[in-house]
Structure 1
Amino acid sequence: MKKEFQILKKVMLLMVTALFFISCESNINEIRKSNVVEFNPVGEAKDFNLKYTDSGKIKAILISPQMLDYSHLEFPFTEFPKGIDVTIYDEQGNKSFVTSNYAISYTNSNLIDLSGKVKVTTHDGKMLETEQLYYDQKNEWFFTQKTYKFTDKGNVIDGLGIDFSKDFKTLDTQGITGVYSI
């Protein structure tokens, strides 16, 4: 009888242990589900044409096939997964153009990240091409550490890393090759 009691005791212990692990498995799965953060946009626009005006004058036109709004997140941003085409007007009404295959604009830092065949063309024929370019909206300043090609009146500069003002009047180039007439 002692032997039967010990066997029964071991079987009961095994069943309690099994039930414990089964119940923990369920709770762990529930905890995992509760820790999942929803990462969905609060808004989406397709095939839109946005005109930015100031004092009755058009300052910029943004065209994109898709915009996703993540303004509800702790670090809000707006994503343009299918690229952008921007026309910028200066005080004299001259047009400059910015295009890229992808863009993301960070609300808190006023930083825009352009990537994938980025091209900036000014009204006077200056052109910069690169794979990634950042734009600091507050300081109106472009910069990249990627390779680039800058063309101005037939002069071509290739390099790695460049910073410049939005009107290309101030350039800070690093690691350049090519010939440029000053």
Structure 2
Amino acid sequence: MKQIIKYYILNIVTVITVTMFFSCNDNYKEVQKIGVSENEPIGEAENFNLKYTDSGRVTINLLSPIRLDFSNRDFPYDEFTKGITLYFYNEDNKKSTVVADYAISYSKTNIIDLQGNVVVTTHDGNVLTSDQLYFDRRKEWIFTNLPVTFKSGQDIIHGNGFDSNRNFTNAEVLEVTGIFTVEE
């Protein structure tokens, strides 16, 4: 009888010990997250001013009153809740401006999603307005599939989409309607 009780106790201790070894895992990432809410940014910046350069020349300047850093997420991003201003400088250092009420920049895809009263003013005075525009930093391309209005001189062009390089030298309004001058 004592032999059977020892056998049961030994089996129980063995099961508990094996369970403990297999239940342990590397949870360093989880420990890092302690104290950081899943819905909170890992960092905040006020009066944010970022300059992108190429060969020592500023090509893009990004300004925002508030930048929220969510780089601790599986799909990291920066959020600009109080709006954003982007200045694009061409090779001749002429400035075009993009203003939006809200923006979110995704690190993995290099896409900036501009939303709410988006206004693009080119260095030569053309103005594009839309509710949403995307800027692909890698391809240096601006685009949307939403309605846009493009004003150039006396011409007012409406469309359902827009594509352009960052210098606006290859701009195209898609599905065009509106009032515009046509040369014979």
- TM-score normalised by length of structure 2: 0.73
Amino acid at match of 1:179: I
Give the 5 Å matches for 1:5-20: none
Partner Cα separation in structure 1 for residue 170 and residue 87 of structure 2 = 21
Contact 2:81 2:103 in 1 (8 A): yes
- Percent pairwise identity: 45
Q: Is 2:47 aligned against 1:47?
A: yes
SS in 1 for 2:46: strand
CA distance in 2, matches of 1:51, 1:175: 34
What are the Cα deviations for residues 3-37 of structure 1, in whole angstroms up to 9, with x where unaligned? xxxxxxxxxxxxxxxxxxxxxxxxxxxxxxxxxx7
In structure 2, C-alpha distance between the alignment counterparts of 1:70 and 1:101, rounded to whole Å:
19
Gaps of 5+ in 1: 1-36
Give the deviation of 1:45 after TM superposition. 0.2
Letter in 1 for 2:106: Y
How far is the alpha carbon of 1:137 from its aligned partner?
A: 1.5
Deviations 1:111-148 (A, max 9, x none): 11000100111111121101111111122211112111
Normalising by the residue count of structure 1, what TM-score does the alignment of the two structures yield? 0.74
Alpha-carbon offset, residue 42 of structure 1:
1.0
User: Which segment drifts farther, 154-163 or 172-181?
Assistant: 172-181
Runs of 4+ in 1 over 6 A off after TM superposition: none
Match of 1:151 in 2: 151
> Structure 1 residues 173 and 55 mapped into 2: Cα distance closer, same or farther (>3 Å)?
closer
The equivalent residue for 1:78 is 78
Question: Which letter does structure 1 place at the counterpart of 2:161?
Answer: G
Paired residue type of 1:92? D
- Which residues in structure 2 correspond to 1:101-116 (within 5 Å)? 101-116=101-116
CA distance in 2, matches of 1:171, 1:51: 24
- Counterpart residue number, 1:142: 142
Alpha-carbon offset, residue 57 of structure 1: 2.2
Rg (Cα) greater in structure: 1
User: Hey, what's the Cα distance between the residues in 2 that align with 1:42 and 1:172?
Assistant: 39
Amino acid at match of 1:88: F
* Deviation at residue 181 of structure 1 after TM alignment: 3.3
2-structure distance, mates of 1:135, 1:60: 12
Of residues 44-53 and 111-120 in structure 1, the stretch that sits farther from structure 2 once superposed is 44-53
- Aligned partners of 1:124 and 1:172: how far apart in 2? 16
**Partner Cα distance (2:172, 2:60) in 1:** 25
